[in-house]
Amino acid sequence: MNLFKISIANLLEKKLNSFLSALLLTLGIGMISLLLLLNKQLDEQFRRNLKGIDMVVGAKGSPLQVILSSIYQIDAPTGNIPLAEVNALRRNPFVKTVIPLSMGDNYHGFRIVGTTPKYVEHFNVKVAQGHMHNASMEVTIGSKVARQSQLKIGDEFSGSHGLDSEGEKHVEKKYKVTGIFEPSGTVVDQLIITRLSSVWDIHEHAEHAEENVAEVAHTELPGHADPEPDEEGKDVTSALIQFRNPMGLMTIPRQINENTSMQAALPSIEINRLFSLLGVGIETLRTLALIIISIAGVSVFISLYNSLKDRKYEMALMLSMGATRSRLFLMLLIEGLLLAVIGFFTGIIAARIGLWVFSKAAEEDFHYSLQKFAILPEEIYLFFGAIAIGAVAAALPSLGIYRLNISRTLAEE
Amino acid sequence: MISSSQLQFAYSPQKKFSFPDIQCNDKETLLILGQSGKGKTTLLHLLALLLTPESGEILISGKPVRNLSPREVTAVRARHIGIIYQRPHFVSSLSVLDNILLSNFLADQKEDRHKVKHLAAQLGFSDHLAKKPSRLSQGEQQRVSIARALMNNPSVILADEPTSNLDDDNCHRVIGLLKNQSASIGASLVVVTHDQRLKDEFPNQVFL
């Protein structure tokens, strides 16, 4: 026999009350924990893919859309821009690298991105199997694409037009897998990477479907090994730009917006804007979670207060049998603390389940996965917060123990 | 052994009680009879050290309890006094077994499960040890509370109207058990009641 055993028996005696209190705590803690997890992982994913990219140029439209489509591959691109204008940027002394991107096709929802070798270098991703594509219509696929689409080296597949898998298929020309990237935790994991020329080939072919195949094959010039393609009259979707020094940030975006058909979008600004938009929602949910936790505290308070009223005689009895008031106070405190601990752990587990469900959805829609279930440092504070709420909610009604008149209570009934 | 002399207690200036002196030696029994309102429960609570008298002296096992600190009073009550209440009350969330063991636990004594089983067999509720007390009948509950009062081998057993809610059969059974058990541990048994059925059971009687 010990105080814990009595406390647990008391909680089980009032199953529904205990359940309600623990449930409310679970909800509140779970919501906060889930928000913390999502916030941290979204932040990580966004920052990791952002690293080193100072500016994105794309067709005029929403700058946020340009960023989302070009860096994170989650929104539709705004349109096309002439490759000549992109290449003109290379001549600017402030510009360090220009990585053109061309997208518009997918395979089972995984985007096929035409780009230069600089793109892969930028994310510092190595080829795990096979070798990097080095001719038109050859592709290297991301680790997640390989895992989910079951594509292997040497496999051929035809892409579908558009960015979701329902698009019309380009059956005439097939891509060939030559390599698979190692998992990197970046956007490359979910992409099929090929040369810019592949994307042009596919679409010229589609546009001139009636022309004979020989002519199409003719466009595949040996000169394609050139890492900086400069074809006149070609379009790309967007380009990722790195500056040599921060001065570029001051002048180039304005020049581009004023003097070219393209628009410049700055990831740092757009992502901060996105987060402040999301922030309103997150703030609301966090407030809601805090309200739920407070209600949980009140619920613990009320259920202990009521059960103490019912158990007044029991308390007087235990006092008459030799219990000290502090001992009974501790017993009641343990009841509150047990509820808090139960609420905390079920909340933390619920948040992980929530994250897992959310991650499934995010993976289906955007191919991003958010699978990190470790305890966050903030959750340790949350633990102490829950303990404090349980302790206060239990202590307030339990102080009545110190005022209980044993003789009168025993004589009353 | 328990004795008292010139006990007085007042709930308010209008509601004052003066009690006759009481003496009950080890292995003896004493019946305190009185109509309601005469302060039977007050006297029992005074003897049980649940109330402090205005004046007068109480000796338990020959030792005065007047100048003990509240903590010492609690310890004396836990170790030396077993109390049986009019209505048997229990910690409702615990089983019968745990309710009886609670006596040992709260008096900081070793939990003696063997003794519980022994008492349960003697008092006739061996089958009910795992049940919640609320599932037992009144007579059974009263027998459980006798077992609870005996757990720490007290030198004094105080019973407040132990039979008033029981029918004749249970009344005689409970009183018989109470007398046997307290005699077997050599305790003084003091019963406070208005129950006239008990008159013939006790040689020593005090009227309030």
pTM equals 0.73
Mutate: best of B42, B77, B91, B102, partner A, most A CBs <10 A? B91
CA B183, CA B155: separation in Å to the nearest integer? 10
List C-alpha distances in Å: B72 to A13, A399, B5, B69, B79: 33, 22, 21, 5, 11
CA A104, CA A159: separation in Å to the nearest integer? 10
Determine, for residues B77 and A322 on separate chains, whether the beta-carbon distance falls below 8 Å: yes
Long-range own/partner contacts, residues A267-273 (CB < 8 A, 24 or more apart): A267/A50, A267/A53, A267/A54, A267/A55, A267/A56, A267/A67, A267/A71, A268/A50, A270/A63, A270/A64, A270/A66, A270/A67, A271/A46, A271/A50, A271/A67, A273/A64
Taking Cα atoms as reference points, which of A240, A336, A311, A241 lies closest to residue A22? A336
CB-defined contacts A:B, below 8 A: 69
Beta strand B205-207 with B29-33 is: parallel
The structural domains of chain B, with segments of one domain joined by +, span 2-207
Running DSSP on this structure, what letter comes out for residue A169?
A: B
CA atoms within 13 A on the CB side of A148: 18
Residues 6 or more apart whose Cβ sits within 8 Å of residue A292: A24, A27, A28, A31
Chunked mean pLDDT (size 10), chain A, 413 residues: 87 88 88 86 78 87 88 85 87 88 86 89 87 88 88 87 72 85 86 86 59 38 45 81 84 86 87 81 84 85 84 88 89 90 93 88 72 82 90 88 86 73
Structure tokens at B57: 């002296």
Closest partner residue to B74 (CB to CB) among A313, A324, A413 is A324
Residue A223 has a pLDDT of: 39
pLDDT tens-place string over residues B184-193: 888 999 999 8
Structure tokens at B36: 């309601």
Q: Is the pLDDT of residue B201 over 70?
A: yes
pLDDT band at B207 (very low <50, low <70, confident <90, very high): confident
pLDDT tens-place string over residues B174-186: 888 888 888 888 8
CA angle A175, A178, A182 (to 5 degrees): 120
β-bridge mates for residue B122, sequence order = none
CA A69, CA A240: separation in Å to the nearest integer? 11
Structure tokens at B100: 């009886």
The CB density around residue B108, as the number of other CB atoms within 10 Å, is: 11
Running DSSP on this structure, what letter comes out for residue A211?
A: S
Beta strand B156-160 with B81-84 is: parallel
Structure tokens at B139: 């007579």
Determine, for residues A314 and B98 on separate chains, whether the beta-carbon distance falls below 8 Å: no
Residue A224 has a pLDDT of: 40
Provide the CA A137 distance to its chain's centre, in angstroms: 32
**Separation in Å, CA of B28 to nearest CA in chain A:** 23
CA angle A240, A245, A249 (to 5 degrees): 60
* Chain B, nearest residue to A12 by Cα: B93
At A297, which amino acid appears? G
Determine, for residues A318 and B91 on separate chains, whether the beta-carbon distance falls below 8 Å: yes
- B contacts of A307 (beta carbons < 8 Å): none
Closest partner residue to B51 (CB to CB) among A5, A407, A413 is A407
Taking Cα atoms as reference points, which of A34, A130, A100, A146 lies closest to residue A376? A34
ipTM: 0.89
Q: What is the mean pLDDT of residues B94-116?
A: 91
Residue A350 has a pLDDT of: 93
**Separation in Å, CA of A340 to nearest CA in chain B:** 20
Structure tokens at B177: 């058990």
At B51, which amino acid appears? L
Residue B94 has a pLDDT of: 92
Q: CATH for B2-207, among 3.30.1300.10, 3.30.465.10, 3.40.50.300, 3.40.50.1100?
A: 3.40.50.300
Residue A215 has a pLDDT of: 38
Q: Is the pLDDT of residue B97 over 90?
A: yes
Return the beta strands (E) in A38-165 as ranges: 55-59, 81-82, 95-107, 110-115, 127-130, 138-141, 156-157, 160-161
Long-range own/partner contacts, residues A42-45 (CB < 8 A, 24 or more apart): A42/A278, A42/A370, A43/A275, A45/A368, A45/A370
- More confident call, B41 vs A46: B41
Residue A207 has a pLDDT of: 52
Residue A217 has a pLDDT of: 38
Determine, for residues B91 and A317 on separate chains, whether the beta-carbon distance falls below 8 Å: yes
The structural domains of chain A, with segments of one domain joined by +, span 3-46+281-412, 55-265
